[in-house]
Amino acid sequence: MSRRKKFSGVQLKSLRKEAGYTQGELAIRVGISRETVSAIENEKPETMNSIGVEVISKWWAVCRQKASEQTRESFFSTVMDYFGFNHS
């Protein structure tokens, strides 16, 4: 049985920063607390293990328009890996 890879808090933090949002601004837009954004970005195990796809989806929806093409491609690759799809 294979385990899904987890999203990287570092990658999500980079995406947020590239989009120009503070943790608080992103939290409001995603519908989570600033503390949860911080816990995700710092890869707190209890938070990372419970993070849902809808949080990642909202995070992406908020930040993608301001993300570079390279960041969009990297994020797409991460999503493909997360769901176990071969994207070669």
Domain contains 88: no
Domain contains 56: yes
The CATH number of residue 22's host domain is 1.10.260.40
Whether 23 and 41 have beta carbons less than 8 Å apart is answered as: yes
Whether 40 and 26 have beta carbons less than 8 Å apart is answered as: no
- Predicted TM-score (pTM) of this structure: 0.82
Whole domain around residue 16: which residue ranges? Answer: 9-82
Structural domain count of the chain: 1
Domain contains 75: yes
Domain contains 1: no
- Half-sphere exposure (CA, 13 Å, Cβ side) for 19? 23
Question: How confident is the model at residue 85, as a pLDDT?
Answer: 80
- d(CA 84, CA 48) in angstroms, rounded, equals 18
pLDDT at 86 over 70: no
Domain contains 87: no
- d(CA 30, CA 60) in angstroms, rounded, equals 9
pLDDT at 81 over 80: yes
Which of 3-7, 34-38, 82-86 is least confident?
3-7
- d(CA 81, CA 77) in angstroms, rounded, equals 6
Instruction: Give tens-digit pLDDT for 17-66.
Output: 999 999 999 999 999 999 999 999 999 999 988 888 899 999 999 999 99
Strands (E), the chain: none
Domain contains 38: yes
